[in-house]
Amino acid sequence: MTASTAKAQRFREFKMPDVGEGLTEAEILKWYVQPGDTVTDGQVVCEVETAKAAVELPIPYDGVVHELNFGEGVTVDVGTVIISVDTDPGAGPAEAPAANGTEQAAAAPEDEDAEPQGRQAVLVGYGAAPSSTKRRARKPQPGVPAQPASAPIQAELNGRAAPAPMAAPVAAPAAPAAPVVPAAPVVPAASAAGAGSAGRPLAKPPVRKLAKDLGIDLATITPTGPGGIITREDVHAAAAPAVAPSLAEVPEPMAVATAVAPAEPGIVDAAARERRVPVKGVRKATAQAMVASAFTAPHVTEFITVDVTRTMKLVQELKQDPDMAGLRVNPLLLVAKAFLVAIKRHPEVNASWDEAHQEIVYKDYINLGIAAATPRGLIVPNIKDAGVKTLPQLAAELGDLVATAREGKTSPAAMAGGTVTITNVGVFGVDTGTPILNPGESAILAFGAVKLQPWVHKGKVTARQVTTLALSFDHRLIDGELGSKLLADVAAVLERPKRLITWG
């Protein structure tokens, strides 16, 4: 056994696992241990946030924490070493092998415990496959340097680079022997420094807009910003009335060089009042899912307004029912039950589109998703086999689902496999909306606010409790007739909740 192998066996490295189905990265939210702490097999050492949920990671070794490779708030790729543990601290001091270092690479053929190449070990699922995509190198352009000096500045303008360092003060130009008044405007040579690789002057979008509004050609402006960037002050200076060449007295060269036109009153740089937040975690996953759904599944949304006075009375009666004691009873519970009953009457709604195999997958189970707004963003956990649950069982699972989501403890498995979803926008006082399908699902029902409104009831106008429902569905799976029948049945149950018995 080589020395490298002995070190590797003593200092065990724990890599970021795939804690969901094919996730490629996770952010370290919190470390529960520090170097020097004793850990045992199965002890939770950190909490990470993936695109789906916050998950606690247990360490699979006994020993003493040797090193934490990343701090809190850092996003780490799956398969990267995040912590090393000394499994034999009593053996005396020893140098831990560097993570992914050259010494380990050289000793790999002799290390029988080396992990095989390919997908890494995961907690859930099969892991993320190694990327096979390779970026083709750019062909160098004739006469263009490989890394132009303006490239970092242009990247910063595009929002992809760290803020540029503060530029050193610009030295005042030496006074000329005699002032020379040009016969015609001449583009200063210094403006070449403010041009990008394609000859385009460097300026931020607000500055370009200002120049356009003032009728100023950016190519004629001498940049004073760091790295040759044209600033707002440069534009204002160019827009100010030029010094007349016919003046009897020519100002001192130094005064001309240092004079800067004052900023127009009331104009404030918009960038100073903006803040940028990295897109990651749940927000990143939500954005990707919504874009994929909106531009993949052809959405159709239908609306219906319904008198739910009887349903609201039933909610109050159920709260007093001994069988519902200790359970959360609210209008959403009965809307969910009405949705499930309507789907049972139209089971072909409960399906998904398999683009790869060009098939429609009809499902004999209903996993009912509930859109939940949490401090981490919007998530959609679902109740498994909701269609076969009794009302008390549905109430219990709905309460657990919402409580777990608010605590940020929803697992990736709880958000997988949904077939249809309900979003309760009424809690925000909103009448209704046009909800976007959760990817892979066939329909989503929006439940609006319940309000007291004038309504014709038994031939007379009277105050009734009314709400508006909106149903969005995948038009590849659900035709207009089928979608209309489904929504009408949901409304019919809520209008006369006794249909929960006659139809259920």
Is the torsion defined by CA of 110, 113, 114, 118 positive or negative?
positive
Contact assessment for residue 433 and residue 449, using Cβ atoms and an 8 Å cutoff = no
The single residue of 299, 346, 457, 475 carrying the catalytic annotation is 475
Q: Which tops the pLDDT comparison, 313 or 137? A: 313
| Nearest C-alpha neighbor of 367 from the set 383, 380, 349 | 383
Question: CB-side exposure of 176: number of CA atoms within 13 Å?
Answer: 11
CB atoms within 10 A of CB 459: 6
pLDDT digits (tens, 9 = 90+) for 124-156: 443 444 444 444 444 444 554 444 444 444 444
pLDDT value at 234 more than 60:
yes
**Which pLDDT score is estimated for 503?**
94
> Which H, E and C letters describe 158-206, residue by residue?
CCCCCCCCCCCCCCCCCCCCCCCCCCCCCCCHHHHHHECCCCCECECHH
**Which pLDDT score is estimated for 247?**
41
| Whether the predicted model's global pTM rises above the 0.85 cut | no
| Nearest C-alpha neighbor of 432 from the set 447, 453, 415 | 447
pLDDT value at 337 more than 90:
yes
Q: Which of 236-250, 325-339, 459-473 has the lowest mean pLDDT?
A: 236-250
66 annotated active-site: no
Residue 121 DSSP class: P
Q: Which tops the pLDDT comparison, 89 or 115? A: 89
Average pLDDT over residues 53-77: 89
Angle, vertex CA 45, rays to CA 43 and CA 50, nearest 5: 120
pLDDT value at 14 more than 90:
yes
The DSSP element (H or E) to which 310 belongs, if any, is helix 309-319
Q: Which tops the pLDDT comparison, 207 or 1? A: 207
**Which pLDDT score is estimated for 65?**
93
Q: Which residue has the tokens 């140098």?
A: 95
- What does each C-alpha distance from 316 to 79, 81, 149, 331, 352 come to in angstroms? 53, 55, 71, 9, 37
Q: How far apart (Å, rounded) are the C-alpha atoms in residues 426 and 432?
A: 7
Q: How far apart (Å, rounded) are the C-alpha atoms in residues 422 and 349?
A: 15
Contact assessment for residue 47 and residue 29, using Cβ atoms and an 8 Å cutoff = yes
Percent of the chain with pLDDT over 90: 45
Q: Which of 165-179, 263-277, 350-364 has the lowest mean pLDDT?
A: 165-179
Q: How far apart (Å, rounded) are the C-alpha atoms in residues 370 and 434?
A: 16
| Nearest C-alpha neighbor of 320 from the set 311, 333, 329 | 329
Kindly give, in sequence order, each residue whose CB lies less than 8 Å from that of residue 53, ignoring residues fewer than 6 positions away.
20, 379, 408, 409, 410, 411, 412, 414, 415
Q: Is 317 helix (H, G, I), strand (E, B) or coil?
A: helix
Average pLDDT over residues 384-405: 95
Is the torsion defined by CA of 61, 65, 68, 71 positive or negative?
positive
Q: Is 151 helix (H, G, I), strand (E, B) or coil?
A: helix
Average pLDDT over residues 173-177: 47
Average pLDDT over residues 321-342: 96
**Which pLDDT score is estimated for 265?**
61
